[in-house]
Amino acid sequence: MSKSDANLQEAFAGESQANRKYLAFAKQADKEGFKQVAKLFRAAAEAETIHAHTHLAAMGGIGTTAENLKAAVAGETHEFESMYPPMIETAVAEGNKKAERSFRYANAVEKVHADLYAKALADPAGLKDTEYYVCSVCGYTCEDHAPEKCPVCQAAAKAFYSVG
């Protein structure tokens, strides 16, 4: 791998993390009543997204929809099979309950994401027009409607929001 390719990967990771961090910061600023600061964080987050997408494209990381779905299935599968299990074990061994819960929630949801992507890959043109619902507590994602209780974290249906 060339130094430029390695730099693109590092820059993509950094810009992606900055986007998520700034969106979290915006939520906090909103909670504290700093609406203009929240807007600033959201604007910067958008800019970081542009940077990340540009770096990903320069790396050749965006393919056809079928290729992208295959990459998404592989990525999500890696997370729930290989990445999160040792992280959960470490958190348990260290008695870090917050980390353990965070990792367990993510691990369970990554399997759901892999299944949803696999379903889309099987027949991308045949997917029905549906809303997706995401649990604001753990990220559980489902089609059509929010469940009465989240199967991962047990949050009530009101914790879900529509993404479509």
128-164 has CATH 2.20.28.10 classification: yes
Q: Looking at the domain that runs over 64-127, which CATH code has it been given?
A: 1.20.1260.10
Taking only the tens of pLDDT, the chain with its 164 residues reads 899 999 999 999 999 999 999 999 999 999 999 999 999 999 999 999 999 999 999 999 999 999 999 999 999 999 999 999 999 999 999 999 999 999 999 999 999 999 999 999 999 998 889 999 999 999 999 999 999 999 999 999 999 999 97
42 three-class SS: helix
Report how far residue 159's alpha carbon sits from residue 137's, in angstroms, rounded to the nearest whole number. Answer: 7
Structural class in CATH, domain 3-58: mainly alpha
Same fold: 64-127 with 128-164: no
Q: Where are the domains of the chain?
A: 3-58, 64-127, 128-164
CB 2, CB 22: distance < 8 Å: no
What does pTM read for this prediction? 0.89
Q: Who contacts 141 (Cβ-Cβ below 8 Å, separation ≥6)?
A: 109, 112, 113, 116, 132, 133, 134, 135
